[in-house]
Amino acid sequence: MRWEGRAWVFGDDVDTDQIIPGRYLRRVSYDELGRYAMTGADPEFPEKVREGDIIVAGRNFGCGSSREQAVMALQQAGVACVVARSFARIFYRNALNRGLPTIEARGDPTEVVEDRERVVVDLDELVLRTGSGEVPLREPPEFALRAWREGGLLELAREDPERPPWR
Amino acid sequence: MASVAERILSEKCGERVEAGDVVAIEPDVIMLHDGSGATALRTLRELGTERVRRPEKVVLIFDHSVPPSSVEAANRQNELLEFARRHGIERVHVDEGICHQILVEEGYAQPGRVVFGGDSHTPTVGAVSALGFGFGGTDMAFTLLYGELWIRVPRTIRVHVTGELEAGVTAKDLALTIVGELGAGYADYAVLEYTGLPERLPTGDRMCLCNLATEAGAKSAYVPPKDGPEDLRPGDADEVVEVDASEVEPVVSVPDAVDDVRPVGDVQGTEITRVFVGSCTNGRYRDVRAFTEALDALGGPDSDVRVVVVPASRRVLLKLTRDGTLERLLELDVTVAPPGCGPCLGEHMGVLGDDDVCVSTANRNFPGRMGSTEADIYLASPLTAAVAAALGELADPREELPDSVLERVG
Ligand code: SF4
């Protein structure tokens, strides 16, 4: 798998309240979440982001509550994938279930990638490339790759509810 | 030698597995509450199925919005009850207490058992040497549907606690100090294994420690059983962190991060308007008892402070009733709400307004957690909460409480 797009760079410990502030959870319907994506960190983000853009972050991306709306908001905003030094595990799982690729970098990608610069995330070569440098990526588990290709474990389960999608 | 987590999960898999392996696990207990249960049910319906593979393993606990806080909550709960009836789910606990408390009280969590729960604080059951893992709604729907779920076998970070806690310093202070030292994401994907002093603490204090492991990012938590079988005793750890309990002071997590932990003395004098005693962190009998004795010793709450106590379970409330603590609380003008999560998640039973400053014995102080995003939340021990309630401001319990009280309850 391979993505090319503009990078939006965030720091460490981006919690789910930054990804989708709690006050929108009950006020906004499920398909309008994208209009508020990342507004806890950058209120202008929904206006700036374009289909296919890539989020680059430090450690522990998606920590805090277990709300799946965080993943939905990023997807609706057009975010193609998230590359971070590490992910909070419940966010990682929610993303896998809903088909948002979350890729771990070896080392801190925010030290290499500039905000708004064009980057290529190449999972065949396991590297994120920028104009000036590279960040090596960790190899995602096989079933995660399959899930991302098909649109998430939920999608796989919908096609065949008899078989666990990780089997 | 493998770690305890590796051994327990290997046993479940029927083959030797190691940290980092991705494996499918059939848990012994599948726990859902009114919140995660509703999401799981919706996801099942999205999948066009309603199968529950192992109804006998499911425990359904209503604790988050109890008694129902809105029409929507009531409808969701009724629907879940109907779902449980249709599928022969018999272990249903309505309004009896907080899910993590019930898992331990009812003995669903047992040494060596694996609990998958639709709640991020499921690691709390590590207090009784069970391995608890928390998941989101979709993963719990999968667990209902297949009776199994994939997980990555976690590595183990051992927190070895030496020394003893000084009078007036509680397990909550120790737990917050550890989270402060490790930081919010430090234990991501790892099991926090507590050895040394924690093995000798009462169950409630062990629950408090394991509960706050979640706030250091831990995937699970574990305290080895004191006289347990050899295979549940600590094995290898990938990393060992040492903490000296005798150096721990009464601390608070200051707004807005759980890992922003400071000695109470540093924020001494901060005025407060609310006190909440309860939650899966500190809503147990000994917590409420210590709070009450301390508050009583100081003559009851300041007239400008509203105090809400929410026992973690009906059993806790019953015990507090039988020994007269409940009566004392009411005489001290404290509001006692029915067992459950109470205002911990900002839904009802004492939600905070914009100008409120709350001292809470719970586990999260993110903006908006207990209501208004403007409100400030300080996380503290029941003793520190009692002192704050009495003075209307934060202060070190060691300085304010008489030695007789400190020795008895701290
Ligand atoms: S008491 Fe608070 S932290 Fe514990 S389960 Fe309830 S809402 Fe969650």
> Could you read off the pLDDT of B20-29 as tens digits, one per residue?
898 999 999 9
* pLDDT over 70 at B91, yes or no: yes
SS3 state of residue A33: helix
The CA-to-CA distance between both ends of chain B, in Å, stands at 38
Percent of chain B with pLDDT over 70: 100
pLDDT given at position B87: 97
Q: What is the pLDDT at residue B410?
A: 66
Give pLDDT, residue A143.
82
Residue B206 has pLDDT above 90, yes or no: yes
Surface of A (82-141) touching B: CB under 8 A:
86-90, 93-94, 97-98, 141
Mean pLDDT over the full length of chain B = 96
Which residue is closest to A162 within chain B, CA to CA?
B146
What's the full length of chain A, in residues?
167
Of the residues B279, B313, B351, which should be mutated to test ligand 1's pocket, given the most ligand atoms within 8 Å of the CB? B279
| pLDDT digits 0-9 by tens, A66-77 | 788 899 999 999
Whether residues B134 and A158 touch (CB distance < 8 A) is answered with no
pLDDT at A160 over 90: no
Task: Please tell me which of the candidates B24, B137, B138 has its beta carbon nearest to residue A164.
Answer: B24
B39, B45, B119, B138: best mutation site toward chain A, by most A Cβ within 10 Å?
B138
A145 within a domain of the structure (yes/no) = yes
Which amino acid, residue A134? E
Give me the percent of chain A exceeding a pLDDT of 90.
74
Q: Is residue A33 part of a domain?
A: yes
Write out pLDDT tens, residues A103-139.
Answer: 999 999 999 999 999 999 999 999 999 988 999 999 9
Tell me if chain B has a CB within 8 Å of the CB of A71: no
pLDDT value of residue A118: 97
Note the pLDDT of residue A26.
Answer: 62
**C-beta of residue B308 within 8 angstroms of C-beta of residue B370:** no
Each residue of A19-45: pLDDT tens digit? Answer: 998 777 766 777 899 999 999 899 999
Three-state SS at B239: strand
Give the domain range for residue A135: 2-159
Is residue B327 over pLDDT 90?
A: yes
Say what the ipTM of the complex is.
Answer: 0.89
**In this prediction, what percent of chain A has a pLDDT beyond 70?**
98
pLDDT reading at A142 higher than 90: no
The conformational region for residue B122 under phi > 0 = left, psi -120 to 50 = alpha, else beta, is alpha
CB B358 within 8 A of CB B352: yes
B-chain residue closest to A60, CA distance:
B185
B28-43 pLDDT per residue, tens:
999 999 999 998 998 9
Inside any domain, residue A167: no
User: In the Cβ-directed half-sphere of A149, how many Cα atoms lie within 13 Å?
Assistant: 10
Any domain includes A165: no
| Residue A164 counted as domain residue | no
Angle among Cα B257, B258, B262 to the nearest 5 degrees reads: 95
Domains of chain B: 22-152 (3.30.499.10), 154-248 (3.40.1060.10), 251-409 (3.30.499.10)
If one counts the domains in chain A, the total is: 1
Helix axis angle for B171-182 and B203-213, nearest 10°, is: 20
Rounded Cα–Cα distance for residues B54 and B77 (Å): 21
Per-residue confidence (pLDDT) for residue B408, from 0 to 100:
83
Predicted TM-score of the model (pTM): 0.92
Tell me the per-residue pLDDT of B209-268, one tens digit each, with 9 for 90 and over: 999 999 999 999 999 998 889 999 999 999 999 999 999 999 999 998 999 999 999 999
Domain at A30, CATH number: 3.20.19.10
Instruction: Classify residue A144: in a domain, yes or no.
Output: yes
Nearest CA among B25, B28, B29, B22 for reference residue B154: B22
A104 within domain boundaries: yes
